[in-house]
Amino acid sequence: MADMIITNGHILTMEPGKEREFSKGMVVIDEGIITEVREKTQETADIIVDAQGGIVMPGLVNTHTHAAMTLFRGYADDLPLSQWLQQHIWPAEAKLTDNDIYNGTLLACLEMIKSGTTCFNDMYFHMDETAKAVEKAGIRAALSYGMIEFGNKDKADAELKEGSRFVQRWHGKADGRITAMYGPHAPNTCSREFLQRVKDKAREDGVKVHIHVLETETELKEMKEKYGMCSIHMLNNIDFFDSDVIAAHCVWLSDGDIKILAEKGVNISHNPVSNMKLASGIAPVEKLLKSGANVCLGTDGCASNNNLDMFEEMKIAALLQKVSTMDPTALPAKEVLKMATVNGAKALGINAGMIRKGALADIIIVDRNKAHMRPFYDAASHLVYSANGQDVMTSIVNGKLLMQDYEVLCMDEMKIIEQASVAAEDLIQRVNE
Ligand SMILES: C[C@H]1O[C@@H](n2cnc3c(N)ncnc32)[C@H](O)[C@@H]1O
Ligand SMILES: [Zn+2]
């Protein structure tokens, strides 16, 4: 007898090269793993999840965020990145406590679970608290301590020590739901020497690296002044790039940079809403995909988005590529859906992002019984262009039901909302003191 069977749903497998759709199918789950995907099964299970009227699909993977920044949702809007970070966000972050991070991350987990994200990639501070929140919520996450040293030698040692301590403590924990990584913030906030040290350490520890790269034109200019080359060439020169790197943003790329990223198998997290809101620019996603690079999708933090809805992110990603290339065939729905599922899972090195025998049981069910979801010709089209996060009925992570038929089972929803609101209020008071 299996643990769970999802039945009666319209299944979208997203299995690379063998994408299949069943109008009525069954997914069998045992010990957190998908054991069978068919039209009918002989198997029985403890829990039967009726997905009647729903699309059963892989949970969405958010490959770049700062979860606890939910506390800064709407705190400093409509500013350019450098001013936003230096004058508003960093001073406020300096006042963050462990308790803030825990509550802010739980709020983020709640929002993600409710809007169909089953795994997220996070870089932030006080990361033990983020990990504890992930452990509690039941979601899956890749976590890194955000290291910033601005070329300061003492700071470099301390930052790497903390990054390393976090990796040792959390990698593979929470029933394997937590993957730890190193998180050097960016090529213009970390020195070349430090980035090299970090990458060496990550290789030694066998873990991945999460970094912001070429988000703004300012970074490009600073790098050219400092090193006589852009961030991509600088990082390539120090042998930083391989398939164990997740580079967020990658907006200001030359054709030569694209070639390097594709050849080295670097994973690129595209974050269109944040890039549009901060007016950072438009990442060349079409060119990156055509060159064979693995491009995935992220929301960035709630101070620059201002939500964690990956459905919104998918639609905006598609629309932005179309209007920027003036080509309506650019980034079609199926391609965006891959970015948000299989490509994201590949980037984070987790066996998910698809509904296939042997994959992790990270699955969501999206409601088709809504006015804006009818008629129904093509699942991918509806998921990208019509749906939003509020249409997710059921979320399963590691074979466990975190939300079923819109009811959150893994936490007390009102309590989380209340605690995070109180924490944010206290925090802003401390910031303004
Ligand atoms: C981990 C660090 O990254 C910062 N951070 C949040 N959003 C962005 C962004 N779009 N670009 C660069 N840094 C960012 C956080 O505010 C924190 O200081
Ligand atoms: Zn970011």
pLDDT grade for 22, boundaries at 50, 70 and 90: confident
Over residues 94-98, the mean pLDDT reads: 98
Say if residue 145 is in the same domain as residue 270. Answer: yes
ipTM: 0.98
User: What DSSP string runs through 227-241?
Assistant: HSS-HHHHHHHTT--
In a domain, 193, yes or no: yes
What's the pLDDT tens digit per position in 292-333? 999 999 999 999 999 999 999 999 999 999 999 999 999 999
pTM value is 0.98
In a domain, 245, yes or no: yes
Over residues 327-347, the mean pLDDT reads: 98
Say if residue 24 is in the same domain as residue 92. Answer: no
Q: Please give, one letter per residue, the 3-state secondary structure of 59-103.
A: CEEEEEECHHHHHHCCCCCCCCHHHHHHHHHHHHHCCCCHHHHHH
Say if residue 137 is in the same domain as residue 47. Answer: no
Say if residue 173 is in the same domain as residue 267. Answer: yes
Who contacts 307 (Cβ-Cβ below 8 Å, separation ≥6)?
Answer: 73, 111, 115, 299, 389
What's the pLDDT tens digit per position in 245-294? 999 999 999 999 999 999 999 999 999 999 999 999 999 999 999 999 99
- Residue 94: what residue type? A
Kindly tell me if the per-residue pLDDT of 345 is higher than 90. yes
Q: Is 64 annotated as a binding residue?
A: yes
Q: Work out the percent of the chain whose per-residue pLDDT is above 90.
A: 97
Say if residue 132 is in the same domain as residue 31. Answer: no
Region of residue 378 (phi > 0: left; psi between -120 and 50: alpha; otherwise: beta):
beta
Ligand 1 proximity of 64 Cβ (cutoff 6 Å): no
Ligand 1 proximity of 252 Cβ (cutoff 6 Å): no
In a domain, 420, yes or no: no
At 149, phi and psi to the nearest 5? -130, -10
In a domain, 426, yes or no: no
pLDDT at 21: 87
Q: Is 93 annotated as a binding residue?
A: yes
Say if residue 37 is in the same domain as residue 90. Answer: no
Q: Please give, one letter per residue, the 3-state secondary structure of 200-211.
A: HHHHHHCCCEEE
- Closest C-alpha among 65, 76, 15 to residue 298: 65
Say if residue 210 is in the same domain as residue 183. Answer: yes
Say if residue 39 is in the same domain as residue 174. Answer: no
Over residues 109-134, the mean pLDDT reads: 98
Q: Which residue range forms the structural domain that includes residue 119?
A: 60-348
Say if residue 182 is in the same domain as residue 273. Answer: yes
Kindly tell me if the per-residue pLDDT of 18 is higher than 90. no
Atom 6 of ligand 1: nearest residue by CA position: 301
Q: Mean pLDDT in the chain?
A: 97
- Indicate the pairing of strand 140-147 with strand 117-124: parallel
- State the ligand closest to the CA atom of 298: 2
pLDDT at 236: 98
Span from the CA of 4 to the centroid of ligand 1 (angstroms): 39
Q: Domain holding 42: CATH number? A: 2.30.40.10
In a domain, 179, yes or no: yes
- Residue 114: what residue type? K
Ligand 1 proximity of 321 Cβ (cutoff 6 Å): no
Say if residue 281 is in the same domain as residue 296. Answer: yes
Q: In the chain, how many domains are there?
A: 2
Kindly tell me if the per-residue pLDDT of 20 is higher than 90. no
How far apart CA 142 and CA 138 sit, in angstroms, is 13
Say if residue 358 is in the same domain as residue 343. Answer: no
In a domain, 418, yes or no: no
Say if residue 117 is in the same domain as residue 191. Answer: yes
Q: Is 212 annotated as a binding residue?
A: yes
Q: Domain holding 82: CATH number? A: 3.20.20.140
In a domain, 202, yes or no: yes
In a domain, 425, yes or no: no
Ligand 1 proximity of 146 Cβ (cutoff 6 Å): yes
Report the Cα–Cα distance between both ends of the chain, in Å, rounded: 60
Distance of CA 417 to the CA centre of its chain: 21
